[in-house]
Amino acid sequence: MSARSAGLVVIAVAAVVWPFMTSKTIHFYGALSAIYALVALSLVILAGWTGQVSLGHAAFLGFGVYIGQKVLHAGVPVVVAVLIVAAFGAVVSLVLGVPSLRLRGVYLTIVTLAFGAACQRYFFQLNSLRGYRSSTVPRPSVFGLSTQSDRGLYFVVLVVLALALAMAWNLRRSDTGRALFAIRDSEDAAQALAVRVAPYKVGAFALSAALATTAGLFYGMLYGATPGPDQFGILQSFFLLALPVVG
């Protein structure tokens, strides 16, 4: 076993064992860290692999909270709820991403910034005024595992994060991953090599948004209520973008 593989095994074992050795307060922050790790992964795929910097990802996190709250209250199982909010995030990303295909660099960043501000003003604040801010978010069991405790929810998020990391690892090593890196380094050069830039950029945006909205579903479950619109504004987007940088 290589040193890298051994290190991954140690990290995996520690991630499973530590909740049984710590207090309930620490369980909350452990679950929150796993949720933020899922958001960080979404931004690594978008910004790190494709070179598309988004300052609107707090909006996708918020969509996951608000849509997830409605879906879970309807009695939908958590696994199905994950698929629904992920699909919703992907569709919304298409609305933003397709018209912005010709934009690069700072211009694309400005568009995502405006998108995030518009969502905060016209979606989250309106829903807050309608009473969603005070609405509770249910915590249904997942395959028999109770999520009523923060420790139980942590393990559910940990499984989702592990699956997302495995998907990202395989994607990075695939032809699609190499195409994304080529686009990041130079779109013109990638096009000259017959890489279809537009579908890859839109696909990366959709995947990133799906992961962020999935994180939002668990974010709402962790806090037990839909937070106020300020939690999904521009400052939060800057914070989320800093996560993969700081690590």
The domain ranges of the chain are 27-246
Hunting for tokens 């005024």 — which residue is that?
129
Has residue 160 got a pLDDT over 60? Answer: yes
Q: pLDDT class for 80, splitting at 50, 70, 90?
A: very high
64 closest CA partner among 38, 95, 31, 94: 38
pLDDT tens digits along 15-46: 888 888 888 889 999 999 999 999 999 999 99
Task: Give the global pTM.
Answer: 0.90
65 closest CA partner among 232, 233, 231, 226: 226
Residue 223: count of CB within 10 angstroms of its CB: 15
- Which residues 6+ apart lie within 8 Å of 80 measured at CB? 71
Helices of type H across the chain: 3-17, 24-43, 49-50, 57-73, 78-97, 105-119, 125-129, 150-172, 175-185, 187-192, 197-223, 234-246
- Identify residue 207 by its one-letter amino acid code: L
Has residue 131 got a pLDDT over 60? Answer: no
What's residue 93's pLDDT?
92
Q: Is the dihedral of CA 140, 143, 149, 152 positive or negative?
A: negative
Has residue 127 got a pLDDT over 70? Answer: no
Instruction: Round the average pLDDT of the chain to a whole number and report it.
Output: 87
**Token reading at 178:** 């190499």
